[in-house]
Structure 1
Amino acid sequence: MATSTAPSTTRLGDVVRWRAMAEWNELEAMLDYRDAEMARTASVEPPMRRQIERSAICLSIGEATGLSEGQVQGRLSAAGTVREQAPSVWDAFGDGLVDFTRVRDIAATIDQLKRAESVTRLDRLVVTYAVDHTGAELRAWLRRFVQRVEADLAVERAEDERRHRHVAVRHGADSMGTLYAYLPSHELAAIEARLRKEARRNVADDDERTVAQREADQLVAWCTHSEAATSAVDANIAVMIDADVLAGAVAGFAESTDGRWAVPAGWIAAVVGTGSTFWHRIVTDPVTDDLLSHEYLGRFSPDTLNVALRFRDGVCQSPGCMVPAERCDIDHREPWPEGRTRADNLGPLCRRHHTMKGHGVLKWSTGPPGRRDPLVIEIYLSPTSIEFDG
């Protein structure tokens, strides 16, 4: 009787769950100890003595767990917030479905929310998403949740924070220092894109500098030449804005397609109004996700279509991969020439996942392109296969 020798990831999954359950037990014990000490010291007199004994709670927990007082305080704060305000998340944590890293991110989001109904809604929805997505994807989801559920308050916070923009220079050792700039995200994205483009343009054969060094030198050149003050930012920046937000009917945000940042939609509208920026407005077919009606007969898609595809998808289409689409290859779902060079048959894959697909390890399913949630990629581990729903 034949037996399969294919490796299994079942044990790894079990270990991850046991680790999360162990984290929950540790934090539950820490919270119980804190609560018991707070109750015990409630009647301690005089008040100064009560305050001193309570201030030693985190120190005692730290001595028992090997953590610093600051680490204990941070863990107690996050765990207490979730246990008290998000019972579904706390129960999922106890069952090992989510780990403390995700719980901490959810707690930070709860601290941002100002309305009780928003916290209740978050508790109802977040576990389902957190269980099946990476930590990076969850953080992006949480940021979008705040911006959509409490858009008016989030815009107010962004406007207030924008007032604190500044540049700081710090001189350090070995004749080096740091230039720090606290700027709106869309402006940083434009600077980042332009630096990346300029550092790779017309590189001489004898130029031994790394890309990072060329980017640094380029920034110095822009900042130290007089014409830099009037130079235009030459960069392709893609954002997604809901139609009602774009129309000004409701408050909302413009989000980068790779999910790394978002700014109030009004900030983008202000940039458009300067007349010095070119914009693409891309309307996606709600059924097929096709971006252009024209079909291209060649194998390689033209630059216009490549830009549109990267704007549409934002990141590599392998489940859980967060490599920005601008650093990905444009891949045919159905290989050319049988598969046409058009938007509904193309999507970005990072070089690593593109190589895996080329060797038959990854395979596109027949799911719709351009949408990460319903996309399915089959990962074959001979002789068995595992399917991941991304």
Structure 2
Amino acid sequence: MFGSDFAAADDAAVVAAIAEGARAEAQAAARRLAAIAELVRRKVCDDDERQRSSFDPWDAVAAEVAAAMTVGHRRASGQMRIAQALRERLPQVAALFEQGGISARIVSTITWRTTLIEDREALALIDTALAQRASRLSPLSERRLDDAVDALVHRFDPLAVRKSKTTARTRDFHFGDEDDAAGTTSVWGRLLATDAAALKRRVAEMMKGLCDDDPRSMGERRADAVGALAAGHDQLACACGSPTCAAAGVQASNVLIHVIADQAAIDDATRITKGEAAATTEGEAAPATECDAVSTAFRDTGGTASPRGDALRPKKRGTAVLLGHGALPTFLLPWLISRGAKVRPIKMPGSKAESRYQPSAALAEFVRMRDMYCRAPGCDVPADLCDLDHTTPWPLGPTHPSNLKCLCRKNHMMKTFCGGPDGWRDIQLPDGTVIWTAPSGHTYTTYPGSKLFFEWDTTTANLPPPPDIPPPAPDREAKMPKRRRTRAAEFAARIKAERARNVDPAPF
């Protein structure tokens, strides 16, 4: 298709194919959301006694949607909200979507910005008006689309307009964006004015201690000062490299991060670091890092290429990955090592199982470095924020790397309380591969995260076939943590609170 289908077509035909593809894409998205809405209808009932469970029927459906779409739990839940709104609240918009008349982007905006409407008559009028104006909505930018939908909402239900988050009651703070450059993470948020002023003053004070030879820009200094605060410091280490600089010797903190790197990356970084050290006066010390980064390395088990092969292909560089954040740029690992980051190898576990339920620190580290993320389908929660799950439940299954994997708390509850012959089942292979079977019978295979970055043989000992697992206890769900109020009640309370803010906005 990419090579020849459009080679003989004129420009008009190519553009027509683009438009037709967009329409077909919208129709396919509408069909997918219709299927999600049907699954929600079948499995989520307001009178279900499990609604107060921490992992409620909505979560159970979200787990199946997440696996089918290969997305995380939160995004799956968002898709369910859109699907439910199209089915139950906006039938005319849904019909237009099914025909490919509007895109998934427009549908997402409409469903979000009409969430606060409670009056069914007003909602029906807005649904009709939006469907009639669909052709005018498509060319709009995101901001103009928001304004157009809000104008209609305001006409029929002024209290339902979603306001920008500009009040003290909606302050928040965020870490990371999908467009972040490698080796950096964006942070943004809204603080109380007093807190922001204190932070600004503290950062400015930390920057005053730097000498004139610090090579960083003002923006880089501010960013590094915030990082130093996060590591528990009240000083910012100068980056001039001079042993006589009063600000060069800031003590390293006990805040721990993990960087996993293959041996080639460690060797490259060490060579660079030694080269930099040789260029300085003997006895000079590099300034301490504000964060004690632990680089865990392993040896590449791949075969050695022939000299001729090495000459014909580009040099293979090592890889280093910050756990939960992806690959690091090549300059950052030497920088960490030169500033005191500890380097230690990941030890392959032995063949024998450990005798207790809780894995040792060494075994837990191996499993987390091998998996790198939650092992449920579509989930990307970093391994250091996950529980360690026995695939075959302990004590029937051993505490052994071939029977341990990382699961975030949400998916750990899914397996614990929704597992069994008619629920979620999982099988783990010695290399860490996990094969999941969903309640619907569909199977999903997930692989250790380290397999995406490294040529690391993560295979550990074969285990004997697991024994027959007894059926779940009848009172299993009674042991699940409970919500303070149901999800539906929480959702209704949030809508009520946001409408109330539109009546009586905060004074600051």
Q: Which TM-score bucket, shorter chain as reference?
A: 0.3 to 0.5
Instruction: Give the structure, 1 or 2, with the largest relative contact order (CA under 8 Å, sep 6 or more).
Output: 2
Q: Which has the higher helix share?
A: 1
TM-score by length of 2: 0.34
TM-score by length of 1: 0.43
- Between Structure 1 and Structure 2, whose CA radius of gyration is higher? 2
